[in-house]
Amino acid sequence: MNKNYNFAFLDEGSKREIRRAALKAVAIPGYQVPFGSRELPIGRGWGTGGIQLTLSLIGPDDMLKVIDQGSDESVNAVNIKKFVGLCTDIETTTDTRKATIIQTRHRIPEIPLTNEQILILQVPIPEPLRVVEAREEVTKKMHAEKDYAPMWLQLYESLVKYKRVTIASEYPCMVEGRYMMNPSPIPKFDNPKLHKAECLYLFGAGREKKIYAVPPYTEVVSLAFDDIPFEKESFTGKICRLCGSADTYLDEVFDAQTGERVYQCSDTSYCQEVRSRAAR
Amino acid sequence: MAYVAVSGGKEAIEESIRLLDFYKSGSDKDVDVEAIENKMSLLVDRVMGEAGLYAKSYAALALKQCEGSVDEAVFLLRAYRSTLTRNYYTNAVNTDEMRMVRRISAAFKDIAGGQILGATYDYTHRLIDFDADGKQASVQARQDLIAAQTPEPVADCPRVSDELKREGLIDRCSRDGRPPCDVTVNMLEFPAGRSARLQTLARADTGFISGLAYSSLRGFGQVHPTVGELRCGYAELCIPYPPDESESIYIGEILITEVECFHEADDKDRLKLAVGYGAVFGRNENKAIAMAIIDNELEHGGPHPAQDEEFVLMHGDSLEMNGFISHLKLPHYVTFQSKLDAVRKTRKAKDE
C-alpha cells in the first residue's frame, strides 16, 4: 500500500458522496443517479465507474474479486486489482464464493451470488435509450414519462426485418415495471441472473457519471413481446473443452495448432471449480 | 489464444512497462523538468488548461513522465487532482485589474488603455532555425534581454465591450448572484447553465474546440465574428480571509488569456452585438478565441454541430474521449460472441 495516498485513493468526502449516490440508486431501482464522477489513474472508459464504487465501498475486512470477460487473469482485471492493491491492503481472491465485493466487466458469474455479496458492474453507456435517442435531455424526459415506445419499436422493426430480435449484448430490461435499464454489456445469457437475485447489483458509469442499482429480490424482466419470448445466445451441442459444462456461456477459441474451432467457459473460476470437483 | 484466455496478464503488464521505460529513456541525455516548465511553456499551458489544474511544475513533471503526450499528461494531472481536498474557493477575479502582457483588438484601432502587441508568433516567419540545435542557451543573451526591458506601471484596463455596452449595442446582464456550477463535482445537466458551459469549454481539448470553431467560421454556424479584445496577463487570486470573510488574502497569480468576440444579433427589428467569452490558462490564444466563438454559437443555437449544446459539451473532454477510444483495445470477447450469435442466427433463418 502506497502511504502517499488515502486509503482507497479517493478522499473521504468523495467516497461518502459516491456512497450516497449508491444509496439513492438502491432506493430507486433501475434509476440512473447522476454523480460527480472523479478522475482516476485508470482510463476513463476502462471501468472507472465500477472502480469508484469499489473504492468507496471497500473496507479492511473485504475480499475483492475482479473479472473481465469472466476471467480473473485478463490484463484489465489484473490492472484494476493492482491499482486497488496500491491504495489498500485488501485481500483479493479468484474464488467467486469467497469474495464479498466482485467487480466485473461484461459478465455475471455462473454461480448464483448470495445476500452477503455485492456485484459491481462497469458500464460504458448507462442509457438504454441512447440507441434510439442521442440526447440526454430527451432521454431523461422519456424516463420521467415512462415513454419507452421507441425502444419497443426498435425491437419490432428488428423482428420484421430479420424475423428475430437482433440486439446482442446490453439487452434492455424493465426494473420493477418502472424504469428501463441497460444491464451493461453482459450477454443476454446473463440477463436472467438479475431477476430476483439474492445479491445487490451496483452499476457504475464513470465517464457518463451515473450510478444505478438492482437491489436483492428485484423484478428484472428482459424486453419481449407476448408471442415472441426473450431469447438468449445459444450454444446448442457445444460444451466446454476443459470442464465439459454444457450450461455456461462459452468463448469461441481457434486452436492455434489444429486450426479447429473449440469452446471453453468464459467464467474461468467456475470452469476451474468444475474441473477440481471432477478430479476429486 | 489471446491474453485473456491464458493466465499471465500480470507478467505481460510488467514486461510492457519495462519496455515503456526503455522507450521513455530515449537517449542518454536527460531532460530537466525546469527546462520543460520554462522552455516548453505553451505545451505546459495547454496541459494545465485541459487538466483544469494550474501547476506548472507538476505539468512539466507529467510531460516528462509520458514522453510529452498531451493527453497522457492531462490524465496524470487530473488523476492527481482527484486526491486533493478543496480547502478554499477564490473570490471572483476582476480581469480589468490584470497585469497585462499582451492586449489586442481587431475591432478598433484605438482602445482605451492601448493595444500591446506583446509576445506572439503571429508575425514570425515559420522557418526552421537550423542553428537552434546545438546552440548553447546563452545565459548572457537572456540577461541582456531582461536588462533591456523597462518596467511600466500597471494600470487598470477597461474592456472594449464596456464602451459598446454604454452605447447600448451590447446587452448588459445583471449579476444574478448564483454560485457558478462546478462540473468537476456535479454531472453536467442539460440545458446547461452558462457557467457550466464556460467551465467545460475552458477544460476542453484544444484540437476539438478549434475544429468546431473552424466549422462555424466556414459556414456551419454564424460565420465571421470579430475579436473585440484578446488580453493575456496575470490575474491575482484572493480567498476570503477565514476569521473575517469580508477581508481577503492574496494567494498568488495565474497567467490567463481572455477573449471577447462580437457577432451581429437580432434585437427585434434592429440589430445588436452579441458577445462570446473565452478564458483559458496560460498563453493559448487560439483556444481562447475558439471558446469565445463556441460560447456564442451555443447561446445562439441552431442546426449546426457547433451550435448543439449536448454535442459540443459532451465530446470535448480530453480524458473522456481518449479513455473511451482507448478502451476499444480491451478484450470484447463476450460481447463479440453475442454479436456473432445474433448475426449467425439471422443467416441461419434465411438459409432455412
Among B10, B187, B330, select the one facing A34 at the smallest CB separation.
B187
Q: What is the mean pLDDT of residues A184-210?
A: 97
| Secondary structure class of B175 (helix, strand, coil) | coil
Average pLDDT, chain B: 90
Helix axes B206-217, B41-51, angle to 10 degrees: 90
Its pTM surpasses 0.80: yes
The residue annotated as part of the active site, out of A87, A173, A199, A265, is A265
CA distance B133 to A76: 42
Asked whether the beta carbons of residue A166 and residue B337 sit closer than 8 angstroms, the reply is no
Q: Which of A83-87, B39-43, B54-58 has the lowest mean pLDDT?
A: A83-87
Check whether B288 has a pLDDT greater than 90: yes
- Dihedral (C-alpha) A74, A78, A79, A83: value to the nearest 10 degrees? 160
Tell me the domain boundaries of chain B.
9-81, 95-120+138-321
Q: How many Cβ atoms are within 10 Å of A191's Cβ, its own excluded?
A: 22
Cis peptide before B191 (omega within 30 of 0): yes
Amino acid identity for residue B139 in this structure: V
Q: Is B333 on the interface with A (CB under 8 A)?
A: yes
Burial class (CB in 10 A: 0-12, 13-18, 19+), A240: buried
Q: How many Cβ atoms are within 10 Å of A156's Cβ, its own excluded?
A: 13
Asked whether the beta carbons of residue A13 and residue B310 sit closer than 8 angstroms, the reply is no
Chain A hits for B62, Cβ within 8 Å:
none
**DSSP result, B221-284:** SS---EEEEEEEEEEEEEEEETTEEEEEEEEEEEEEEEEEEEEEEEETTEEEEEEEEEEEESS-
Chain A hits for B345, Cβ within 8 Å:
164, 166
Burial class (CB in 10 A: 0-12, 13-18, 19+), A272: middle
Nearest CA to A243 out of A266, A220, A264 is that of A264
Q: Which pLDDT belongs to residue B4?
A: 44
**Cα Rg, chain A, nearest whole Å:** 19
Tell me the residue ranges of DSSP E strands in B87-225: 99-104
Check whether B337 has a pLDDT greater than 80: yes
> Contact B55/B78 with Cβ under 8 angstroms?
no
Chain A hits for B319, Cβ within 8 Å:
39, 44
Q: How many residues would you count in chain A?
A: 280
Phi-psi category of residue A45: left, alpha or beta, with phi > 0 → left and psi -120 to 50 → alpha? left
The residue annotated as part of the active site, out of A204, A243, A244, A259, is A243
> In chain A, which residues fall in CATH 3.40.50.11310?
12-222
The residue annotated as part of the active site, out of A30, A47, A70, A206, is A30
Chain A hits for B337, Cβ within 8 Å:
187, 233, 249-252, 266
Q: Is A87 a catalytic residue?
A: no
Chain A hits for B310, Cβ within 8 Å:
134-137
Kindly state the helix (H) or strand (E) to which residue A92 belongs, with its residue range.
strand A91-92
Q: Which pLDDT belongs to residue B198?
A: 97
In angstroms, what separates the C-alpha of B103 from chain A's closest C-alpha?
35
Check whether A280 has a pLDDT greater than 80: yes
Q: Which of A195-209, B27-41, B160-174 has the lowest mean pLDDT?
A: B160-174
Cell numbers 457445444 correspond to A238
Helix axes B318-327, B70-81, angle to 10 degrees: 110
End-to-end CA distance of chain A: 38
CA distance B249 to A59: 40
Average pLDDT, chain A: 95
> Which A residues in the span 185-224 are in contact with B, Cβ-Cβ below 8 Å?
185-189, 207, 209-210
Check whether B188 has a pLDDT greater than 70: yes
What phi, psi does A204 have (nearest 5°)?
-125, 125
CA distance A211 to A202: 7
Report pLDDT digits (tens) over B72-87.
Answer: 999 999 999 988 888 8
Confidence of residue B141 (pLDDT cuts 50, 70, 90): confident
Q: Which pLDDT belongs to residue B348?
A: 82
Q: Which pLDDT belongs to residue B133?
A: 72
Q: Percent of chain B at pLDDT above 90?
A: 65
Among A37, A75, A107, select the one facing B9 at the smallest CB separation.
A75
> Contact A30/A211 with Cβ under 8 angstroms?
no
> Which A residues in the span 13-42 are in contact with B, Cβ-Cβ below 8 Å?
13-14, 17, 34-41
Among B81, B334, B341, select the one facing A106 at the smallest CB separation.
B334
Q: Which pLDDT belongs to residue B136?
A: 62
Q: What is the mean pLDDT of residues B137-146?
A: 80
Q: How many Cβ atoms are within 10 Å of A160's Cβ, its own excluded?
A: 7
In angstroms, what separates the C-alpha of B308 from chain A's closest C-alpha?
10
Check whether B7 has a pLDDT greater than 60: no
Asked whether the beta carbons of residue A134 and residue B325 sit closer than 8 angstroms, the reply is no
Report pLDDT digits (tens) over A115-133.
Answer: 999 999 999 999 999 999 9
Among B314, B319, B335, select the one facing A39 at the smallest CB separation.
B319
Sheet arrangement for strand A179-181 = A179-181, A173-175, A220-222
Asked whether the beta carbons of residue B342 and residue A168 sit closer than 8 angstroms, the reply is yes
Asked whether the beta carbons of residue A40 and residue B82 sit closer than 8 angstroms, the reply is yes
CA distance B276 to B259: 8
**Cα Rg, chain B, nearest whole Å:** 25
| Secondary structure class of B287 (helix, strand, coil) | helix
Report pLDDT digits (tens) over B85-114.
Answer: 888 899 999 999 999 999 999 999 888 888
Sign, CA dihedral A8-A10-A12-A15, equals negative
Q: Is A259 on the interface with B (CB under 8 A)?
A: no
> Which B residues in the span 71-90 are in contact with A, Cβ-Cβ below 8 Å?
75-76, 78-79, 81-85
Asked whether the beta carbons of residue B319 and residue A163 sit closer than 8 angstroms, the reply is no
Going by C-beta distance under 8 Å and a sequence separation of 6 or more, which residues neighbour residue B56?
B37, B41, B44, B48
Q: What is the ipTM of this complex?
A: 0.85
Nearest CA to B338 out of A80, A260, A232 is that of A232
> Contact A171/A188 with Cβ under 8 angstroms?
yes
Check whether B135 has a pLDDT greater than 80: no
Check whether B1 has a pLDDT greater than 60: no
Q: What is the CATH number of domain A12-222?
A: 3.40.50.11310
Chain A hits for B331, Cβ within 8 Å:
68-69, 74, 76
What phi, psi does B259 have (nearest 5°)?
-135, 140
Q: What is the mean pLDDT of residues B24-31?
A: 90
The residue annotated as part of the active site, out of A87, A173, A199, A240, is A240
Q: Which pLDDT belongs to residue B13?
A: 86
Q: Which pLDDT belongs to residue B351?
A: 65
Note the maximum CA span of chain B.
88
Asked whether the beta carbons of residue A78 and residue B345 sit closer than 8 angstroms, the reply is no
What phi, psi does B350 have (nearest 5°)?
-65, -40
Q: Which pLDDT belongs to residue B152?
A: 78
Check whether B272 has a pLDDT greater than 80: yes
Check whether A33 has a pLDDT greater than 90: yes
Q: Is A36 a catalytic residue?
A: no
